[in-house]
Amino acid sequence: MMVADVLRPRGAGLPRLRDTRAVWPVLALIAILVFDWVMVPNFFQIRVVEGRLFGNVIDILYRATPTALVSLGMALVIGTKGIDLSVGSTIAIVGAVISWRIHAGDPHIVILFEALAVAVVCGIWNGSLVAGLGIQPIIATLILMVSGRGIGLLINLLYGGTDPSFDSPLLQGLSTGHLWLIPTRLVVGAVLFVALWLVIRRTALGLFIEAVGGNAAAADLAGVNARRIIFVAYVLCGLLAGCAGVILTADTHTSDPVSVAMYIELDAILAVVIGGASLGGGRIYLGLTVIGALVIQALTTSILISGLRPEYNLIVKSVVVMIVLLLQSRNVRHHVTMLFQGRRR
């Protein structure tokens, strides 16, 4: 415990708020939105166009949905002290499978389940390597990350691979359509979030994952089957990546294994970390992870609407991410506090 913590009066409102992890990602999101509001006064305006909602806020939610879904899966895996680098490759494979089965003429509702099944298989593969063989997560999932896009390309070759584009009212409806006024993917995302929250927080699974991530040996001694829990986390992560894959593939209605969801694993990991979870495992923050994904997307959107050249996108993103992370670092906060206190005296 730091000296400053000891000296600070217990229960003082502001410092305690400052130490709450939830504050920083939410503050970052609010700051970005306020910035947008200053730049574009009608930023929060929402209109109804052609029977669906339109507006910048809707757009941020819309574009953030795939990343948020992947991030939720990543949050579970990171909760077990793991990491899954292969989510982008999983999405590439899912896209290739969708395109392949549509060319083969399967009913589209079946294809949806086939796509998700393939994603689950990817998760099982990662889970078996990590939980079964005990391989370090970063390297175990690197295997699928390196080869997954190649597998996607090979699947495209199964039907000649000349024209991987397709039309599917069902899948495109799930991705780019709208339900009443709301874009369907937001509904899908919300349903999946609630389902996941129920599974994690209303069963013991979340507790077990956090126990395993905190200390696998201790969890094992306490009677939690650590291997099985870790395995389940990777399978769920694969499944959620598969859902994102369906949305992303239907969005472009083509299979492009080389470039689809490039760097989504990095965005997802960032979202989890911005949400306050440590890569050291032991914590799952589902809501804050979604906030983290929204921060990343809001940042991209605000760079676009601020008229800054899109080249600056990555730089601004990395700088904001570093600031959020530095604020979360105890050591930095401690030194900054000391600096100000020294000046006051």
Q: Does 260 bind other proteins (CB under 8 A)?
A: no
Residue from the set 326, 336, 338, 339 that interacts with other proteins by CB under 8 A: 326
Q: How far is the CB of 96 from other proteins (least distance, A)?
A: 10
Q: Whose Cβ is closer to other proteins: residue 120's or residue 270's?
A: 270
Residue from the set 38, 279, 305, 339 that interacts with other proteins by CB under 8 A: 279
Ranges within 120-149 binding other proteins (CB under 8 A): 129, 133-136, 138-140, 142-149
Q: Does 306 bind other proteins (CB under 8 A)?
A: no
Q: Does 338 bind other proteins (CB under 8 A)?
A: no
Q: Which two tokens stand for residue 36?
A: 């947008």
Q: Whose Cβ is closer to other proteins: residue 78's or residue 196's?
A: 78
Q: Does 44 bind other proteins (CB under 8 A)?
A: no
Q: How far is the CB of 47 from other proteins (least distance, A)?
A: 33
Residue whose structure tokens are 């939690």 = 224
Q: Does 332 bind other proteins (CB under 8 A)?
A: yes
Q: How far is the CB of 125 from other proteins (least distance, A)?
A: 10
Q: How far is the CB of 328 from other proteins (least distance, A)?
A: 8
Q: How far is the CB of 185 from other proteins (least distance, A)?
A: 26
Q: Does 330 bind other proteins (CB under 8 A)?
A: yes
User: Rounded to whole angstroms, how far apart are CA atoms 48 and 71?
Assistant: 30
User: Rounded to whole angstroms, how far apart are CA atoms 91 and 249?
Assistant: 8
Residue from the set 128, 215, 225, 278 that interacts with other proteins by CB under 8 A: 278
Q: Does 336 bind other proteins (CB under 8 A)?
A: no
Number of other CB atoms surrounding residue 155 within 10 Å = 23
Q: Does 312 bind other proteins (CB under 8 A)?
A: yes
Amino acid at 157: L
Pick the piece of the chain touching other proteins (CB under 8 A) from 40-48, 153-161, 171-179, 208-216.
Answer: 153-161
Q: How far is the CB of 147 from other proteins (least distance, A)?
A: 3
Ranges within 14-33 binding other proteins (CB under 8 A): none
User: Rounded to whole angstroms, how far apart are CA atoms 170 and 46?
Assistant: 27
Q: Does 308 bind other proteins (CB under 8 A)?
A: no
Chain positions contacting other proteins, by CB under 8 A: 83, 129, 133-136, 138-140, 142-154, 157, 266, 269-270, 273, 278-280, 311-319, 321-322, 325-326, 329-332
